[in-house]
């Protein structure tokens, strides 16, 4: 099994306005913790010769992730190094109308370790799609983040998706959820 680390949409404004003003600090702090975990996994992957693929959402107009705006920029802690793959997307699915599949095939990747933002949108959609495309997926259970949504807090959404996605399969391919400390390359 050839593995790659896939980090989705860890951009400067990914959680801008994703909660009430009183809770935004809590979300921002939680995102910083997740970004540190993802950075540590990037370092481990690079040291082990495992490819790192970073996905960046390119929106338009007044969107917080509109291409070229300050909030669109990747968090510097997870920015790809020269020679690493950066995939630009315009939908929740990191495979949809992107070169991600081609980049993974070119490297013979059969297993993805996935983290990033936002849990119920791009992380969920990409992990499900990956399994249906023939990849085994390890979702970093403490390595994805989102904002509060309605009556649900970010941590409830994350816990729900970790439970929901763990064991999700398509034929022999499956999503497994593991904490960052349980992942080795």
Q: Convert the pLDDT of each residue in 42-75 to its tens digit.
A: 999 999 999 999 999 999 988 899 899 999 999 9
Percentage of the chain beyond pLDDT 70 is 99
- Torsion of the alpha carbons at 3, 121, 96 and 32, rounded to the nearest 10: -50
* Domain 3-182: top CATH class: alpha beta
* 87 beta partners: 55
Whole-prediction pTM: 0.97
Cα 61 vs. chain centroid, distance in angstroms? 23
Q: Where are the alpha helices (DSSP H) in the chain?
A: 21-47, 100-106, 124-132, 154-165
**What count of Cα atoms within 13 Å lies in the side-chain half-sphere of residue 4?**
23
**What count of Cα atoms within 13 Å lies in the side-chain half-sphere of residue 44?**
16
Tally the residues of the chain. 185
How far apart are the C-alpha atoms of 37 and 77, rounded to whole Å? 10
């Amino acid at each position: 099994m050839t593995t790659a680390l896939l980090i989705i949409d860890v951009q400067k404004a990914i959680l801008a306005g994703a909660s009430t003003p009183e809770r935004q600090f809590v979300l921002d702090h939680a995102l910083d913790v997740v970004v540190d975990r993802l950075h540590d996994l990037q370092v481990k992957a690079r040291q082990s010769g495992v490819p790192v693929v970073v996905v960046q959402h390119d929106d338009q107009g007044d969107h917080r992730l509109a291409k070229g705006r300050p909030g669109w920029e990747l968090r510097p802690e997870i920015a790809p190094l020269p020679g690493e793959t950066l995939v630009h997307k315009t939908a929740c699915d990191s495979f949809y109308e992107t070169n991600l599949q081609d980049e993974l095939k070119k490297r013979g990747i059969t297993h993805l370790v996935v983290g990033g933002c936002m849990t119920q949108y791009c992380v969920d959609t990409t992990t499900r799609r990956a399994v249906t495309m023939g990849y085994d997926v390890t979702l970093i259970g403490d390595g994805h983040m989102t904002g509060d949504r309605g009556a649900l807090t970010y941590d409830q959404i994350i816990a729900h998706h970790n439970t929901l996605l763990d064991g999700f399969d398509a034929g022999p391919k499956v999503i497994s959820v593991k904490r960052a400390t349980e992942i080795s390359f």
